[in-house]
Amino acid sequence: MGADHHGPAKGLTRWLFTTNHKDIGSMYLWFSFAMFLLGGSFALVIRSELFQPGLQLVRPEFFNQMTTMHGLVMVFGAIMPAWVGLANWMVPLMIGAPDMALPRMNNWSFWILPFAFTMLSLTFFMDGGAPNFGWTFYAPLSTTYAPPSVTYFIFAVHLMGMSSIMGSINIIATIMNMRAPGMTYMKMPMFVWTWFITAFLLIAVMPVLAGAVTMMLFDIHFGTSFFSAAGGGDPVLFQHVFWFFGHPEVYIMILPAFGVVSEVLPTFSRKPLFGYSSMVYATASIAFLSFVVWAHHMYTVGMPIAGELFFMYATMLIAVPTGVKVFNWISTMFRGSMTFETPMLFAIAFIILFTIGGLSGVMLSLAPLDFQYQDTYFVVAHFHYVLVQGALFSIYCGVYYWLPKWTGHMYDETLAKTHFWMTFIGVNTAFFPMHFVGLAGMPRRIPDYSLQFADFNMLSSIGAFITGFSQLIFVVVLLKCIKGGKSATDQVWDGAQGLEWTVPSPAPYHTFTIPPQVR
Amino acid sequence: MPTKSTRNIALRLGAVAVGMFGFGFALVPLYDVMCKVLGISRETIVTQSQLDPDAAQADMSRTVTMQFLANKNDGMAWEFRPSQFEMDVNPGAMNNTTFYVRNPAHRAMIAQAVPSVSPPEAAPFLHKTECFCFRQQTLAGGEALDMPLQFVVDQALPKKIRTITLSYTLFDVTTMAAAPDQRVGFRN
């Protein structure tokens, strides 16, 4: 520790070599926002093509590349790095630590990502085009029938996996070792708790995903037959391995959202969180259950009835701890002196809309009904309600909540509320009609559809464009807030509790060099 | 430098990650084991059932309808059909039938048949004592063959099952058998 260790280095090398959790958190967030715009533009290509029935704008082959890349970029490029970014920024501030436990590894786990996504994006310019087999990359679509660029896709997934695993190891080590004196586990803020559990999920399942793509690599290039029935393998095995990763993965994207909402609601209700310890146990139960429900994604592969029933009941069981959380949030707001700043609006919208997504999830969990819903737009509606109105809304919720702490300025509340309402209207217009076309039997991942779905699809496309362009309002809010605006107090929000609100706004480059004492 | 305890945590978690990578691969044999434990017979090409001598006593009072299906995987050029589409069999009795194949191409090709049984509950009770699916089949260009299948339906077959469908899918494994580093069926 030199005496010159006070401020950030200058120039580009500051960002290349930084080991500062705030710098790395900011880079993660900027990167994920860039990926969000990229993945969003793919979504707009999809919705433009689906504006009317018939093939208008793109060839079906390119349409398939768009659906695949939209999913991959949004899941691995936008949502997950945004959460890691928020964890980097906030976990040390919330537990009173000076930095992450392994700062150099932190730098590395971020800088892998731009390379992974550059490699993934370059597949568009290769012979045969980008991956076109859906973000779930089921074999044999992703092996026997895949474009040659699949190898680059595989290595990109390997890199993303390494980045996530290193990030998670870092977060767990930080939380276990660097809490301020007096901060016991059951005094940790909910965002820290949810990330702690998420990090364990990541370490458990990202390697399984790496294993799945490695088996694909072997099948494609080295003559093995993991997923090829001709050689004694089984394509259904791929689905089991993939969803063993894939189901915990959806909780990886939503558990930190639960954490953010559990931070924001008490602040703007001016009441402590209702049922803190039940929140912790509910999160842990959801994480545990997420390992034993994966086959509900594959009811139609021909499982024995006992298997269908097991996975059906286990899946429905998840609604119990999730219900505990929803009722705790409502109880937190009950009789609170609530105010409705932008983070609170996103949090309340999250509770309502995520619950809608959760309920369509319970519908999908019913094995006999799932035979009709499988691979329809009903599934698309469901997972966009939980990932856009769920995960994305709570990321915005967290960003607006902590933005004054990061920049030292209050953001433009009017413009931010406009952003919220436009996004709220946009996403519901886009995704709600998908329930109806899905129930009526419109298949997903199809560039053309029958005429009876035309009106609802046009509505969805209009909603998608409203959503897409509303995000430009966020860019303006963000830039304005970085450049100036009303100075933020240290506490920022008058109901805010927690260590992150005890440091100055903007948070100095180094915080908690002397550990604070918690009660 | 990270503290010793941080290093310990990182190393342990790293070991968990490596272990889970291995677990991903362990899912491959586990999948077969689970299927066996749960009574889901996932027939593989190497399965040759051990016939219980007790089950070999024919039960003439009961008949089960066996149906045969022949499918070809995408792009497989061979002709492939059962010589008999349906037969009534007595549980415990030995039965013989054949599947006809012809290679219409001008070159030798290698094929592999992969079986599937419906309803799946019947699979553990269908014993194939001899099957063309146990090994790869090589046919010269233009050559035809009646491939033998010998099987016994177990006496223990649940009474509610009256019909068993045995379906074969024929895969072209010529490139796979010839040059293992070639992608199977890859067409650009």
Mean pLDDT of B141-151: 90
A9's tokens: 């280095």
In DSSP notation, A209-265 reads HHHHHHHHHHHHHS---SS-GGGT--HHHHHHHHHHHHHHHHHHHHHHHHHHHHHHH
Give dist(CA B130, CA B98) in Å, integer: 11
Range of the domain at A413: 23-501
Give dist(CA A490, CA A410) in Å, integer: 11
Q: Of A450, A449, A396, A399, which is closest to residue A427 (Cα–Cα)?
A: A396
Identify whether the C-beta of residue B174 lies closer than 8 Å to the C-beta of residue B110: yes
Q: Tell me, yes or no, if A1 comes closer than 8 A to chain B by beta carbon.
A: no
Q: What is the mean pLDDT of chain A?
A: 95
The residue ranking higher by pLDDT, A424 or B62, is: A424
Give dist(CA A368, CA B23) in Å, integer: 31
Res B185: pLDDT: 37
What's the gap in Å between the CA of B72 and the closest CA on chain A? 11
Give dist(CA A187, CA A246) in Å, integer: 31
Contact between chains at A223 and B182 (C-beta distance less than 8 A) = yes
Res B62: pLDDT: 87
* CB nearest to B27's CB, from A127, A210, A241: A241
* Structure letter (DSSP) for residue A392: I
Identify whether the C-beta of residue A311 lies closer than 8 Å to the C-beta of residue A240: no
Q: What percent helix, strand, coil does chain A show, rounded to 5?
A: 70, 0, 25
Res B92: pLDDT: 87
Q: Which residues contact B134 (CB under 8 A, 6 or more apart)?
A: B45, B46, B48, B128
For the segment A83-135, what is each residue's pLDDT rounded down to a tens digit?
A: 999 999 999 999 999 999 999 999 999 999 999 999 999 999 999 999 999 99
| B162 Rama sector, left if φ>0, alpha if ψ -120 to 50, beta otherwise | alpha
Res B179: pLDDT: 47
Identify whether the C-beta of residue A137 lies closer than 8 Å to the C-beta of residue A156: no
Q: Of A146, A168, A210, which is closest to residue A81 (Cα–Cα)?
A: A168
Contact between chains at A208 and B112 (C-beta distance less than 8 A) = no
Mean pLDDT of A389-406: 97
Contact between chains at B180 and A222 (C-beta distance less than 8 A) = yes
Contact between chains at A165 and B17 (C-beta distance less than 8 A) = yes
* CB nearest to B188's CB, from A128, A231, A232: A128
Give dist(CA A314, CA A302) in Å, integer: 18
What's the gap in Å between the CA of B69 and the closest CA on chain A? 17
Query: Catalytic positions of A, please?
Result: 70, 99, 135, 163-164, 247, 249, 251, 262, 296-297, 322, 325, 444
* Residue A84 included in any domain: yes
Res B182: pLDDT: 40
In DSSP notation, A142-193 reads TTTT--TTHHHHHHHHHHHHHHHHHHHHHHHHHHHH-PPTT--GGGS-HHHH
* Structure letter (DSSP) for residue A519: -
For the segment A372-388, what is each residue's pLDDT rounded down to a tens digit?
A: 999 999 999 999 999 99
Mean pLDDT of A327-338: 96
Contact between chains at A229 and B13 (C-beta distance less than 8 A) = no
Q: Of A246, A214, A18, which is closest to residue A110 (Cα–Cα)?
A: A18
User: Confidence class of residue A10 from pLDDT cuts 50, 70 and 90?
Assistant: confident
User: In terms of residues, how long is chain A?
Assistant: 519
Q: Tell me, yes or no, if B165 comes closer than 8 A to chain A by beta carbon.
A: no
Reply yes or no on whether the pLDDT at A1 is more than 50.
no
Contact between chains at A105 and B10 (C-beta distance less than 8 A) = yes
Mean pLDDT of A177-190: 95
Give dist(CA A306, CA B35) in Å, integer: 12
* Structure letter (DSSP) for residue A201: H
Give dist(CA A15, CA A166) in Å, integer: 19
CA distances from B3 to A116, A166, A242, B8 (A): 30, 17, 36, 9
Contact between chains at B186 and A144 (C-beta distance less than 8 A) = yes
Reply yes or no on whether the pLDDT at A45 is more than 50.
yes
User: Confidence class of residue B3 from pLDDT cuts 50, 70 and 90?
Assistant: confident
Give dist(CA B169, CA B116) in Å, integer: 8
The number of angstroms, rounded, from the C-alpha of A30 to the middle of its chain's C-alpha atoms is 15
Torsion angle in degrees (nearest 10) through CA of A17, A19, A20, A24: 70
Number of domains in chain A: 1
Residue A178, classified by CB atoms within 10 Å of its CB into exposed (0-12), middle (13-18) or buried (19+), is: buried
SS3 A411: coil
* Residue A517 included in any domain: no
Q: Tell me, yes or no, if A330 comes closer than 8 A to chain B by beta carbon.
A: no
Residue B170, classified by CB atoms within 10 Å of its CB into exposed (0-12), middle (13-18) or buried (19+), is: buried
B139: β partners: B109
Identify whether the C-beta of residue A46 lies closer than 8 Å to the C-beta of residue A465: no
First-to-last alpha carbon distance for chain B, in angstroms, is 52
Give dist(CA B80, CA B168) in Å, integer: 10
User: In CATH, which of 2.60.370.10, 2.30.110.10, 2.60.120.10, 1.10.730.10 is domain B53-178?
Assistant: 2.60.370.10
Q: Which residues contact A148 (CB under 8 A, 6 or more apart)?
A: A126, A127, A128, B188
Mean pLDDT of A214-238: 90
SS3 A476: helix
Give dist(CA A247, CA A298) in Å, integer: 11
Mean pLDDT of A338-362: 97
* Structure letter (DSSP) for residue A334: T
Interface test with chain B among A142, A174, A234, by most B beta carbons within 10 Å = A234
* Residue A13 included in any domain: no
Identify whether the C-beta of residue A18 lies closer than 8 Å to the C-beta of residue A24: yes
CATH number of residue A351's parent domain: 1.20.210.10
CA distances from B120 to A298, B30, B47, B112 (A): 17, 19, 15, 21
Q: Of A80, A64, A198, which is closest to residue A138 (Cα–Cα)?
A: A64
For chain A, percent of residues with pLDDT exceeding 90: 92
In DSSP notation, chain B reads ---HHHHHHHHHHHHHHHHHHHHHHHHHHHHHHHHHHTT-----TT--PPPPGGGGS--TT--EEEEEEEEE-TT--SEEEES-SEEEE-TT-EEEEEEEEE--SSS-EEEEEEEEEESGGGGGGEEEEEEGGGS-EEE-TT-EEEEEEEEEE-TTS-TT--EEEEEEEEEE-HHHHH-TTSPTT---
Mean pLDDT of A299-319: 91
A471's tokens: 């995000």
Mean pLDDT of A164-186: 96
Q: Of A344, A442, A358, which is closest to residue A393 (Cα–Cα)?
A: A344
**Helical axes A342-365 vs A235-269, angle rounded to 10°:** 150
Number of Cβ within 10 Å of residue A89's Cβ equals 25
SS3 A376: strand
Reply yes or no on whether the pLDDT at B184 is more than 50.
no
Res B125: pLDDT: 84
CA distances from A427 to A238, A431, A442 (A): 33, 6, 19
Which residues from A are below 8 Å from B19, CB to CB?
207
Interface test with chain B among A127, A205, A226, A228, by most B beta carbons within 10 Å = A228
First-to-last alpha carbon distance for chain A, in angstroms, is 29
Identify whether the C-beta of residue A434 lies closer than 8 Å to the C-beta of residue A407: no
For the segment B18-75, what is each residue's pLDDT rounded down to a tens digit?
A: 999 999 999 999 988 887 776 665 554 444 555 555 555 777 888 999 999 999 987 7
Which residues from B are below 8 Å from A128, CB to CB?
188
Residue A47, classified by CB atoms within 10 Å of its CB into exposed (0-12), middle (13-18) or buried (19+), is: buried
User: In terms of residues, how long is chain B?
Assistant: 188
